[in-house]
A and B are shown apart, each in its own frame.
Chain A
């Protein structure tokens, strides 16, 4: 098959196949990412208009099997400790499947809020690792379950400000190098909190646009290799800043398409490498933001179907490129 277009049926098949080999080593080696992987697979399917390709009830049952009643959070796998990252993924999955009624909202809210530190950043779990990714997870999750009013917004925004670098970007913690994925979590968190004023928007947009390499792909930090997932972090951030036209999408689209596995489906970090669900979802939702034909609109703030986010009254003022017909 040719990689000149997005091979939707093949990717749907690839995602369906991921959950089938529960005995193999790879399944065990990736158990600590299982909840996130389910969310990535589901979101990719939604973007391709095949939300129902995976069994809804089975998925909800899996999510609930990872609920830790005592802590009030979700683990990545039934055998794993609760953490903010899988908790956000669980909430996103339940929201996409219109099943928030399964959630103990007061309890999960308490869990999330208990992880905020005096500086405003969030720890991922009780052991105290901090990262702006966890801060975003908390803000996104609280917003989806309608509990954002319980968050100390000033304190939260205060930490993001501490992570702002001279190049306009943000890092994982205060003082850390700007990194496209951390830029996205900080930008999206600020969008949810209606505080995009914190961002030096032109400076950041230039830094983001400078991530595009001559081959069309994006890196996440200066002078690193291009990687499909960074096209999403950069595109979603630019989309939130309404500056998606600053990059060359005509060169980016063929790069993402060239990283497809044309035999078994899925997308890799770059052409020739092994495909995985992480790069598959971010490749596809990136294409969606560029208006690639046949895809469903994805909200760059929540990384969920745009219609769903809008129906919950949570849509922010982002802008994607118009959907093309062919």
Chain B
């Protein structure tokens, strides 16, 4: 039980670790003279713990936790230290242990654990690859933020797990966004981390709307401005990350919905200096097209381009100017024409060419459906998408359909 106490003391300290890493193998490989009670490394607030020690600690902690729960949560007060220690070790080894997280919420509510310290502890947990994918830890953070920050609205629908209406500081926003970025680097396409980011940015926009004349207003707008340039450069560094592209579109939509209010009025003061001002679907579309020109074999980019047409106000059915649609068809046809052709010897090049054609076909058939155009090459049902259709024929027949419609 001494191991759980030793680890628990570090994990539950008022200044928790900033990073946690599980090291492969057993302690002797890392710590030639390790003590049985302290078979881990803790330096400069980084905890490194060998896998075998984690396993031993987990079994010990399960035992302590189970006994404490059997004693009944009504006597939680008497067992606070052992509950705090055992739950922190359970979460270290098994971040999906929801009951351990629930118990810690009870300890926060009772004042035994400080909410800010708990935010630091979960940030450390989320620094690990395995932990960062669990929805429950992200929810735990939102729960803590709601508990510890002031509400500025009386109509917060807590049932929607929102952060809107909660008075988060500039520092809070920066901290949440950077924890998410780190988690998405360690665990690509991290679904729940991106959801958390969207929840935060919605909260940010609603805070900006509220604080029209407040001095912290411009600081919040700055965070939003940084977010717009951050996501653009993230996409350029992660061209297979459709989750990021979907997020960029959601962000653009959010800004569009609030464009009549204070966000834009603030921006008119210095439009040339910020990214926010020009962050819209037109810009995203140009962004998607330029990336597609360079990397036409990336499915994510094709769907990015689709997405930029789909949000309200820009949906393709409403594009009355047929030249945009024609331009899009020609763009796809050219991309497919300029795709590297296999020579028969280089199979990887041949595969690449096939993939580009597949995505181009899927794009055009999507376009045809959006326009309600009947295209001979696509007659029948959705099976066609997995067959190879000649992109040139498809594009030309789509163009003819458009001329007839004119």
Instruction: From known contacts A81-B99, A210-B362, A221-B243, infer whether A247 and B386 are also in contact, taking CB-CB under 8 Å.
Output: yes
Segment among B33-41, B120-128, B302-310, B394-402 that sits at the interface with chain A: B302-310
A27-85 contacts to B, CB under 8 A, are 28-29, 31-33, 75, 79-81, 83
CB pair B250–A117 under 8 Å, yes or no, is no
CB pair B58–A223 under 8 Å, yes or no, is no
B292-333 contacts to A, CB under 8 A, are 298-300, 303, 306-307, 310-311, 315
Q: Which residues on the B side are within 8 Å of A210 (C-beta)?
A: 362, 385
Q: Which residues on the B side are within 8 Å of A203 (C-beta)?
A: 369
The 8 A CB mask of B37-55 against A (1 = contact, 0 = none) is 0000000000000000001
Complex Cα distance, B98 from A209, in Å, reads 34
Q: Which residues on the A side are within 8 Å of B9 (C-beta)?
A: none
- Neighbour of A245 across the interface among B69, B198, B383, CB < 8 A: B383
Instruction: From known contacts A29-B58, A118-B157, A223-B300, infer whether A128 and B98 are also in contact, taking CB-CB under 8 Å.
Output: no
Q: Which residues on the B side are within 8 Å of A243 (C-beta)?
A: 381-382
- B93 contacts A by Cβ under 8 Å: yes
The 8 A CB mask of B178-219 against A (1 = contact, 0 = none) is 000000000001011011001000100000000000000000
Q: Which residues on the A side are within 8 Å of B55 (C-beta)?
A: 25
Complex Cα distance, B94 from A176, in Å, reads 25
A-B pairs, top 7 by smallest CB distance, nearest first, are A117-B159, A166-B310, A129-B139, A246-B382, A80-B99, A223-B299, A222-B242
- B148 contacts A by Cβ under 8 Å: no
A223-272 contacts to B, CB under 8 A, are 223-224, 243, 245-248
- Neighbour of B136 across the interface among A129, A166, A209, A247, CB < 8 A: A129
Instruction: From known contacts A28-B62, A177-B194, A209-B382, infer whether A166 and B98 are also in contact, taking CB-CB under 8 Å.
Output: no
CB pair A177–B98 under 8 Å, yes or no, is no
Instruction: From known contacts A81-B99, A179-B191, A209-B382, infer whether A118 and B198 are also in contact, taking CB-CB under 8 Å.
Output: no
Complex Cα distance, B15 from A97, in Å, reads 51
A154 to chain B, nearest CB (A): 17
CB pair A117–B386 under 8 Å, yes or no, is no
Residue of A nearest to B250 (CB): A175
CB pair A221–B189 under 8 Å, yes or no, is yes
- B6 contacts A by Cβ under 8 Å: no
- Neighbour of B135 across the interface among A81, A128, A129, A245, CB < 8 A: A129
A173 to chain B, nearest CB (A): 6
B150 to chain A, nearest CB (A): 19
- A119 contacts B by Cβ under 8 Å: yes
B interface, how many residues as a size bin?
35 or more
- Neighbour of A223 across the interface among B136, B240, B311, B369, CB < 8 A: B240
Q: Which residues on the B side are within 8 Å of A206 (C-beta)?
A: 365-366, 369, 382, 385
CB pair B195–A209 under 8 Å, yes or no, is no
Complex Cα distance, B299 from A223, in Å, reads 6
Complex Cα distance, B192 from A206, in Å, reads 25
- A190 contacts B by Cβ under 8 Å: no
- Neighbour of B160 across the interface among A29, A75, A130, A223, CB < 8 A: A130
Complex Cα distance, B306 from A167, in Å, reads 9
CB pair A172–B243 under 8 Å, yes or no, is no
B333 to chain A, nearest CB (A): 20
- A276 contacts B by Cβ under 8 Å: no
Q: A121-B159, A175-B198, A221-B243 are in contact. List 19 more A-B contacts (CB 8 A).
A: A25-B58, A32-B99, A79-B65, A130-B160, A166-B306, A166-B307, A166-B315, A167-B306, A177-B191, A203-B369, A206-B365, A206-B366, A206-B382, A210-B362, A221-B189, A221-B191, A222-B300, A247-B383, A248-B386
- Neighbour of B386 across the interface among A123, A128, A209, CB < 8 A: A209
Q: Which residues on the B side are within 8 Å of A32 (C-beta)?
A: 94, 96-99
CB pair B189–A224 under 8 Å, yes or no, is yes
Instruction: From known contacts A79-B66, A129-B139, infer whether A205 and B161 are also in contact, taking CB-CB under 8 Å.
Output: no
Residue of B nearest to A206 (CB): B382
Q: Which residues on the B side are within 8 Å of A121 (C-beta)?
A: 159-160
Q: Which residues on the B side are within 8 Å of A223 (C-beta)?
A: 240, 242, 298-300
Complex Cα distance, B203 from A231, in Å, reads 36
The 8 A CB mask of A93-124 against B (1 = contact, 0 = none) is 00000000000000000000000011101010
Instruction: From known contacts A172-B135, A177-B243, infer whether A166 and B58 are also in contact, taking CB-CB under 8 Å.
Output: no
Ordered by A's residue number, 28 sampled pairs between the chains whose C-beta atoms are within 8 Å are A25-B59, A29-B94, A31-B62, A32-B98, A33-B96, A79-B99, A83-B98, A118-B160, A121-B160, A125-B98, A125-B102, A128-B159, A129-B136, A129-B161, A130-B160, A167-B303, A171-B195, A172-B191, A175-B202, A177-B194, A177-B243, A206-B366, A209-B385, A209-B386, A222-B300, A222-B303, A223-B242, A247-B386
